[in-house]
Structure 1
């Protein structure tokens, strides 16, 4: 169906992958995984023919449709929501728009006009034989949380997260034979992710998806494509099954590598000691030949590196942590909160969940005191030292300072080694620590923000979607760090693995015309799901 033949991608200073050969079959759903920077998005763009590989070919069987998730949220600003989805089938979109124009403006008594309308009708039937496109689009939009009365609104009226949902609907609507999705769960709330999972499990063609959501990969994928060692390896099964198999392979390779390195050291030592000794010359020559036969290149080191995240506290947390008293806030006529009251106690680690736009980030900004509510009071306990991770780090992490200098600026008393160790824990080593913060990618900015929180040693962490841009290894490390942390936590996240790893209290914010309604559940995320499984909660 979709095939890569001897595909390589090389840049002047780096080779991403070489001689990839893979056939992607109908009915299989592939999760494409690998470390940040390994080339996952690049390989997907090569599959979609958006970019050309350095060498090799991509073959898509004749007549098959290819669907790709667009990353440009602002490409359809002047289209209605319905049309932005419809244009996912460009041929059908063009037919419908031409028909509308002819019926509105052309002379319907003109024979040529009627001939053209007949031609258009034939194309329409080819693309939509059941005449169901409008109903299908309306259902997709409603399933993604867009009520019918806004379906004709323009795309430019939506927030960034909602624009992304429309792009997702656009990719799914034509039911392409081969569907390529790069991080489709980014910007989606838990309900939308669940809807997407069910939709993709019904996909009958080929699916290749990049995701850092472990739960999503387990739910959707039948196969895993692991981009590592500058090549692509295929595994049958979901992410957890891949993890078991790859861990076993990695241990075997490590044992083999250590064995060869030890043998290499022994041979080199023998040659060094006896190479000039006439009586041992023959043996030394033999050892030299053995050394040359050792193929250490075949035992390459994985590009995966696990970050080491540890949050320590400078002081113990007291009995009083946080009281939210009668908080009300609105944007224009839209009420977000109306007399919201919450009490946070010691040892509580809270996952703050809810659909996009319901007010989670607004609440975080109010608690972080970067935004004032219209009314109400936020009372932090006297012992609380709060560390804040904003959803958008780009406004904080900018400029020409090096990573080291940027972190040092927050606390001049910090030990130099402590700063560099913190950066190293988040996989910034050597020369990388001297890069300017303004040149960092989204994922790198999130990692340096985690370095900052580790150095701050706060006893309460307020985190607004910290997993955006992080790879699977970093998300797992973050979950373990929050679980072990001795302080309090409020964390906004749509990542179910992360929430399940640390949370002992779930607060769901639900939309209400009179201000958000709160579901306050004391227990784990798994217990929360069991409690509300018969209700419409994600």
Structure 2
């Protein structure tokens, strides 16, 4: 009985529930739960490894591209799971939604240097530009001071009556540590060709059933009309038929029932991951894009490839020597270099880093043709879509993007959960760890406040000593203000943390 009681206290009775919750969150249907791992595909094996890590509740989780192989719903679930997890997480990811939901600090690796920024990815982008603007302002101020000192040295250095002051200013010039402004981060500009003239209606499905010839329909009764200027995101559960619907819209697959009506003068461009495998291995990326768009100059061909991250020597390497991600970029460059008025894109941002994703998103938003998109990247869907079609009855095309569009549309793979025996073990563990961290920080704060106040007092003494040197006094005043801000922040943190620790201790 003691062992049973200990098992209950440890949350053992809730273990099946926790396993089911994680597997369901990562997209496992119940019929996969008992499948041996060696019979799973590579993508499902990766999800299994991720589930095992989440269930182990580590003190520190190190994740390298954890959203690879995850669909849209699983990515959203993982972001929330990591956001509320009690452990510390260090993640490398190109998934902007994940970085915005999970990250509280961004470490940028740039020019062989590391810079740490507080906040999520969106805040990091703003803070980086703000910091650069502050650096530019400080450099302008410093340049003016240097010019003023240099002018004095040049004018009076040879005069006996001013030689002493000139030497003093020359020494000050030598001691000034020059401010270097970080280079601006500028994204390459990508511009899709102007879409050729066409009818307003690009393609229409009437009462369509979609699926593969000889197989069961994946979806039935679809009525859909795509018009020029629309950007439609297809969302739905795994196996709902998103990619199949794209193939049906393109004409690659005929509807199993119903009709497809292509618009007048429609030029369709299609992208899917299999295109990379069809590229000639002996040709270079430059040659592939040049052949696809023969009217482009060499400079423009390089610009198209460079915008997608294939600049310099990489554009001239044989396709056979490129990685899978680089091949996909060549295929995407080949597509976007040609004029179309309807683009059907299946996971176009796979293998793209966050900056290249932003380049592509901006280009597609500026383009005036029609777009139908399947993407597991929530940021891309929210940034691009003017309309959303959920691959679930009644198959309504809705204007705008709303949070419910990202919810799973069926409960077929829902985890069996006994809510009457729910034990929130992870929450208790998270509260305990936060309480311990808070108490440790409270112990350290008095010493930090004392040191900060001592620095302010020392700066006050320097200000008194420099009262006759207005330039030095102004600089010291700025430094003192910054130090005082640190003191104020520490006191505010102290007050807030005391209240939080008291709240946690009583919970």
CA distance in structure 2 between the aligned counterparts of 1:184 and 1:531, rounded to whole angstroms: 23
Secondary structure at 1:395 match in 2: helix
Q: Once the two structures are superposed, what CA deviation does each residue of 1:374-414 show, in whole Å capped at 9, x if it has no partner?
A: 45543321211111111334313350212211112224444
**Corresponding position of 1:504:** 386
Q: Offset at 1:359?
A: 1.7
Q: Offset at 1:315?
A: 1.4
Are 2:68 and 1:174 aligned?
A: no
Are 2:317 and 1:435 aligned?
A: yes
CA distance in structure 2 between the aligned counterparts of 1:294 and 1:437, rounded to whole angstroms: 48
Aligned 8 A contact 1:368 1:388 in 2: yes
Going from structure 1 to structure 2, the CA distance change for 1:313 and 1:434 (only over 3 Å counts) comes to same
Q: Offset at 1:427?
A: 4.0
For residues 80-479 of structure 1, the aligned pairs below 5 Å read 130=12, 132-155=14-37, 158-253=40-135, 301=183, 306-325=187-206, 326-330=208-212, 334-372=216-254, 374-479=256-361
Going from structure 1 to structure 2, the CA distance change for 1:429 and 1:359 (only over 3 Å counts) comes to same
Q: Which moved more, 1:462-471 or 1:153-162?
A: 153-162
CA distance in structure 2 between the aligned counterparts of 1:382 and 1:504, rounded to whole angstroms: 23
1:521 to 394, 397, 400: 397
Secondary structure at 2:270 match in 1: strand
Q: Offset at 1:484?
A: 1.5
Aligned 8 A contact 2:248 2:255 in 1: yes
Aligned 8 A contact 1:307 1:473 in 2: no
Secondary structure at 2:86 match in 1: coil
Q: Offset at 1:195?
A: 1.6
Q: Once the two structures are superposed, what CA deviation does each residue of 1:283-324 show, in whole Å capped at 9, x if it has no partner?
A: xxxx9xx99x9979x66657x662322222241231231022
Larger Rg: 2
Aligned 8 A contact 2:237 2:410 in 1: no
Going from structure 1 to structure 2, the CA distance change for 1:447 and 1:461 (only over 3 Å counts) comes to same
Secondary structure at 2:132 match in 1: helix
Aligned 8 A contact 1:349 1:490 in 2: yes
Secondary structure at 1:344 match in 2: strand
CA distance in structure 2 between the aligned counterparts of 1:132 and 1:255, rounded to whole angstroms: 58
**More helix per residue:** 2
Going from structure 1 to structure 2, the CA distance change for 1:471 and 1:251 (only over 3 Å counts) comes to farther
TM-score by length of 1: 0.62
Q: Offset at 1:158?
A: 4.4
CA distance in structure 2 between the aligned counterparts of 1:387 and 1:261, rounded to whole angstroms: 53
CA distance in structure 1 between the aligned counterparts of 2:332 and 2:188, rounded to whole angstroms: 11
**More strand per residue:** 1
Structure 1 residues not aligned, in runs of 5+? 1-120, 263-286, 511-516
TM-score by length of 2: 0.65
Going from structure 1 to structure 2, the CA distance change for 1:509 and 1:530 (only over 3 Å counts) comes to closer
Going from structure 1 to structure 2, the CA distance change for 1:201 and 1:134 (only over 3 Å counts) comes to same
Going from structure 1 to structure 2, the CA distance change for 1:395 and 1:480 (only over 3 Å counts) comes to same
CA distance in structure 2 between the aligned counterparts of 1:147 and 1:431, rounded to whole angstroms: 45
Going from structure 1 to structure 2, the CA distance change for 1:194 and 1:391 (only over 3 Å counts) comes to same
Q: How many residues align?
A: 385
